[in-house]
Structure 1
Amino acid sequence: MTIILLVFGMACLVKGADWFVEGSSSVARMLKVPSVIIGLTIVALGTSLPEASVSITAGLVGNNELAISNVVGSNIFNTLVVVGASAIITPFIMDKDIVRRDLKINVLVSFILAVFVSINGYLDRFEGLILIALLVVYIGTLIRSALQNRTQEDDAKTLSPFMSIVCIVVGVAAIILGGNLVVDSATNIAKAMGLSDTLIGLTIVSIGTSLPELMTSIVAARKGESGLSLGNAVGSNILNIIFILGVSSALSPIAALTENIIDAWILVVIACFILWMSRKDDQMTRNKGILFVAIYVVYLIYIILR
């Protein structure tokens, strides 16, 4: 039964991502907004819902100790595996606005998070409010960019407004359901194999909550929506920190383990690495994708052995 639920969950992820990308792309064409903006906002927020629901709900009851681990682990996975796998399947050119603006913001918010948790070993309410203020500024910047860069209608198929919303809502629901089924099923299998709860949390849960980003970006890349694909991964990273951790820590301070502090600085290095790579060459080739995934495998081995 567990295997059946695992397979069904994967099917929900794949089909949900397909509907979500189709609806989001259609909305972008109707609003004459670049797909990269949709990727950085609607898609990024939608695929971050699993992390948001877990962390914010935990914050409401004052039990959010794993929020930092989940977000940092998911961001590392997004940068190395989501971007890397998308490039392996369909090489793409990085959107110039993402390189110029969002990858730099990704480095900035990752650095701020690392500094906050290093100073006193936790995220307090005041630091959470600072992150929320950054969220307001970031969303305002994206809205201004969208208004300044309206695009002309193309010949691609555009769904009706109603069907676009239906695809987005049903797609998000299927992605969340699929992610939960995959995480729960994989966790049960791992426990049956005798793996520890800590190892399961650092690997299966962190990767599992990032499956929506992975499937959505892969589907977007295959449909030729590279801006939406990369925007989803980078946008999710930024929102995970300034939205999820901001709201969670504003509700209840979040304690950081020593491992969280180390991983937060590893995240800063990885964020700087992808920015440096993009400045050298804006093409994400298959070789670069393989390198990104290989780096994640090394990181995975490190967290298993430590």
Structure 2
Amino acid sequence: MLSAALLTLLSFGLLFLGAEWLVRGGAGIALRLGLTALVVGLTVVAYGTSSPELLVSVKAAWAGQPGISVGNVIGSNIFNIAVILGVASLIRPIRVQSSVIRRDAPVMLAVTLGGLAVLWDGAVSRLEGGLLLVASVVYTVWIIRAARKEAPGEDEGLKPLGVGRALFFILGGLLVLAAGSRLLVDNSIIIARALGVSEAVIGLTIIAAGTSMPELATSAVGAFRGQSDISLGNVVGSNIFNILFVLGLAAVIHPIAGAGVRGIDQAFVLGTAVVLVPLMWTGRVIGRKEGALLLVSYAAYLWLMWPKG
């Protein structure tokens, strides 16, 4: 089990490095196309930092491990709001643009409800997965078209890159992510069996935290630099992407059945999404007190869901 734990830690590093390269390449091209910093955070950065969730869930679905596949998505969405926004807002209060409250947060809440409706019977068919994929494409096209009406954001810590260099980062990032995701899934299963817990619990905790490391690093750095658009857009966009694209693609590749996600997990993923909306409304700032509350809620979730004794 010790070697599995060490390899799991190594996989965290690979996932972080791969996502960082993917984000750098994708954001560099997106900024050349004139997208705003908020939209880059909602799409390119969010999708890039969610690429570990994508590869891990797809690999788990292909290998017939639905608990890991679905648990990773649900656990990552809880982690993104409760831990990542909690940490980022403790570093520096996050200012919220009106467009996030008016447009993006309601979409995230609606997508969360839709994802839970699909998972109501504990299964996701290929048809349901296909519908989620279509919805992800519609959302991405819509958000980019909406961005054309907004002023391009500059000086947000992201820089345009040459096409050749951007492609190098994108391809290199994908290769590193593939290696990291394989290590994480294989060794997390070994740890789950050694601890006597279900694959769903491992997916909701260890794997969810591991695949969310890129989001945590991106949002924390954004908070240090005062880039609220990147920090908040990254989390909101990642949560939308995880349900629509990650869960959708995993189900299309291999229908998911018997995921093992419990009512408490569904309650927390919905609860964090619901609570985030009023937190953003209060002064249009997510302050340090709200961040601390989010972190405490995640600690409570871990205590409630982890097997006792």
* Partner SS for 1:148: coil
Write the deviation string for residues 159-212 of structure 1: whole angstroms up to 9, x where unpaired.
444334444555566667667767878887x679x6334354442122112112
* Partner SS for 1:273: helix
Q: How high is the TM-score relative to the length of structure 1? A: 0.82
What pairs up with 1:161-240 in 2 under 5 angstroms? Answer: 161-170=163-172, 195-198=195-198, 199-240=201-242
d(CA) in 2 for partners of 1:128 and 1:171?
Answer: 26
Shift of 1:74: 0.8
Q: 1:152 to 1:281 in 2, by over 3 A?
A: closer
d(CA) in 2 for partners of 1:169 and 1:129?
Answer: 26
Q: Which moved more, 1:281-290 or 1:76-85?
A: 281-290
Task: Give the aligned partner of residue 39 of structure 1.
Answer: 41
What pairs up with 1:96-135 in 2 under 5 angstroms? Answer: 96-118=98-120, 120-135=121-136
Shift of 1:94: 1.8
**Partner residue of 2:305 out of 295, 303, 306:** 303
d(CA) in 1 for partners of 2:177 and 2:90?
Answer: 22
Tell me if the contact between 1:19 and 1:170 (Cα under 8 Å) persists in the aligned partners: yes
Q: In the alignment, residue 53 of structure 1 is paired with which amino acid?
A: L
Tell me if the contact between 1:179 and 1:208 (Cα under 8 Å) persists in the aligned partners: no
**Partner residue of 1:284 out of 280, 286, 303:** 286
Seq. identity, %? 34
Write the deviation string for residues 134-165 of structure 1: whole angstroms up to 9, x where unpaired.
11221121121122224276597654443344
Q: In the alignment, residue 77 of structure 1 is paired with which amino acid?
A: F
Tell me if the contact between 1:64 and 1:248 (Cα under 8 Å) persists in the aligned partners: no
* Partner SS for 2:148: helix
Tell me if the contact between 1:59 and 1:249 (Cα under 8 Å) persists in the aligned partners: yes
Q: Which moved more, 1:6-15 or 1:218-227?
A: 6-15
Q: How high is the TM-score relative to the length of structure 2? A: 0.81
Tell me if the contact between 2:36 and 2:153 (Cα under 8 Å) persists in the aligned partners: no
**Partner residue of 1:79 out of 71, 78, 81:** 81
User: Considering only aligned residues, what root-mean-square deviation do their CA atoms show, in Å?
Assistant: 3.3
Shift of 1:260: 3.3
Q: 1:180 to 1:296 in 2, by over 3 A?
A: farther
d(CA) in 1 for partners of 2:135 and 2:281?
Answer: 24
d(CA) in 2 for partners of 1:281 and 1:228?
Answer: 19
Shift of 1:215: 1.5
d(CA) in 2 for partners of 1:169 and 1:223?
Answer: 27
Q: In the alignment, residue 283 of structure 2 is paired with which amino acid?
A: D
Task: Give the aligned partner of residue 149 of structure 1.
Answer: 150
* Partner SS for 1:224: coil
Shift of 1:37: 1.1
Shift of 1:78: 0.7
**Partner residue of 1:255 out of 257, 260, 281:** 257
Shift of 1:275: 1.0
Q: 1:292 to 1:183 in 2, by over 3 A?
A: farther
**Partner residue of 1:48 out of 27, 47, 50:** 50
Shift of 1:227: 1.1
Q: In the alignment, residue 142 of structure 1 is paired with which amino acid?
A: I
Write the deviation string for residues 68-115 of structure 1: whole angstroms up to 9, x where unpaired.
211101110011111111112232202322222121111111111222
Shift of 1:60: 3.9
Tell me if the contact between 1:51 and 1:209 (Cα under 8 Å) persists in the aligned partners: yes
Q: In the alignment, residue 87 of structure 1 is paired with which amino acid?
A: S
d(CA) in 1 for partners of 2:255 and 2:13?
Answer: 37
**Partner residue of 1:272 out of 267, 271, 274:** 274
Q: What 5-or-longer segments of structure 2 have no aligned partner? A: none
Write the deviation string for residues 215-238 of structure 1: whole angstroms up to 9, x where unpaired.
122223323332122111111111
Q: 1:179 to 1:212 in 2, by over 3 A?
A: farther
Q: 1:96 to 1:181 in 2, by over 3 A?
A: farther
d(CA) in 2 for partners of 1:159 and 1:29?
Answer: 8
Matched, 1:136 2:137: yes
Q: In the alignment, residue 129 of structure 1 is paired with which amino acid?
A: G
d(CA) in 2 for partners of 1:24 and 1:153?
Answer: 16
